[in-house]
Amino acid sequence: MRCCNSGLRLTLWLMLLLVSGCGGGSQSGSGTSTPTVPTNLATGTVTSSSVSLSWTASSSSAGVAGYNVFRNGTKVGTSTTTSYTDTGLSASTSYSYAVEAYDLSLIHI
């Protein structure tokens, strides 16, 4: 029962921050469109030491190459899909997440 309570506390303490960036658009003078901002960041399975995240795909005229995932403002990983599982977490701890897309020209948003 103790394990389940720890997982529940993690769920209650888990905070999601919407994506970083300020929206899609064109980079000044480059003629290249930046990726649109990933939206609908959500949690899936939450355990006492991990959380699965998912989001809606970004788009870019140069093609989206992948996503950087941030925990509490620090990059913790990358994904080439619209999901990521963050591991090594501690129960009863608050975490915030953000996701930014990057395109084939390595423009980040």
Residue 46 pLDDT > 70, yes or no? yes
Residue 52 has what pLDDT? Answer: 94
Interval 52-93: pLDDT, tens: 999 999 998 888 999 999 998 899 999 999 999 999 999 888
Q: Are 84 and 19 in contact (CB under 8 A)?
A: no
**pTM for the full predicted model:** 0.72
Residues 6+ apart with CB under 8 A from 67: 38, 55, 58, 78, 79, 80, 82, 84, 99, 100, 101, 102
Q: Are 107 and 58 in contact (CB under 8 A)?
A: no
Residue 16 pLDDT > 70, yes or no? no
Q: How far is CA 22 from the centre of its chain?
A: 15
Q: What is the mean pLDDT of residues 38-53?
A: 91
Residue 49 pLDDT > 60, yes or no? yes
CATH number for 2-103 (one of 1.10.150.250, 2.60.40.10, 3.30.1020.10, 2.40.110.10): it is 2.60.40.10
Between 36 and 3, the more confident residue is 36
